[in-house]
Amino acid sequence: MESDLTKMLSTALTGWDNSRDRSTQVEIGPSSIGGCRRKVWHDLQRTPEINHTEGLAAILGTFIHAGISEAIKREDPFGDNFLIEQEFSCEGMKGHVDLYIKDQGLVVDWKTTTKKNLRYFPSDQQRMQVQIYGWLLENNGYDVKNVSLVVIPRDGHMTEIRAHVEPYNPQIAEAGLVWLQEIEDMTEAPAPEKYPSYCALYCKFFDATGEVGCPGIQK
């Protein structure tokens, strides 16, 4: 009975996650920019998914995002000031913005992590991602003054939620778009950027043989 219950939950979570817009999105979105070049290259090449990681962190993070979206609506019940989970696109770039507060010109992106990894917040990739969300909003006619990353430790307390705010800087967003264009122009796969021990857990393109996907950094 125990194995039936765990299988039922795993199947339900995976099926739900696969049905979401973000899971079926084929374009490279802001969340991938500034990360592993090799992974993005494989995404662009439509390399088949080789390594089925089935990581809980990403799925639980999505549930937290969905819960936050519902909770935050209580702060603006008529939708006069908040844009919540809205999709924007410009010049082929598409992204889902977690929250935009109109009267502050503020773009907010929710992040989840563990207490152990709070010391890495915010990463350069996260900062680039939220700046691209700001760029998308600006190019769709919205006034953007600042961008913010808010991290929630899944194993922590309310007092350990952290917020990073910085001025909107379109140059950072544009650097991210150039980064992506350079990968799109590559005729061969860039060098691996992560070790196999990491890739085996988190990358859908990890392939120890290197015949189809990425073997990771070889010592």
148-162 pLDDT, tens digit each: 999 999 888 999 999
pTM of the model: 0.87
Reply yes or no on whether the pLDDT at 195 is more than 70.
yes
Nearest Cα to Cα of residue 151 among 61, 63, 67, 60: 61
Task: Copy the structure tokens of residue 149.
Answer: 């990353």
- In what helix (H) or strand (E) does residue 93 lie, and over which residues does it extend? strand 93-101
How high is the pLDDT of residue 22?
Answer: 47
3-state secondary structure of 105: coil
Q: What is the pLDDT of residues 83-107, one digit of tens each?
A: 999 999 999 999 999 999 999 999 9
Q: Which residues pair with 88 in a beta bridge?
A: 95
**What is 2-30+53-182's CATH topology?**
Lambda Exonuclease; Chain A (3.90.320)
Measure CA of the first residue to CA of the last residue in the chain; give whole Å. 44
How high is the pLDDT of residue 8?
Answer: 78
Task: Copy the structure tokens of residue 171.
Answer: 């140059």
Domain edges within the chain: 2-30+53-182
Reply yes or no on whether the pLDDT at 180 is more than 80.
yes
User: Hunting for tokens 């140059």 — which residue is that?
Assistant: 171
Q: What's the mean pLDDT in 52-58?
A: 70
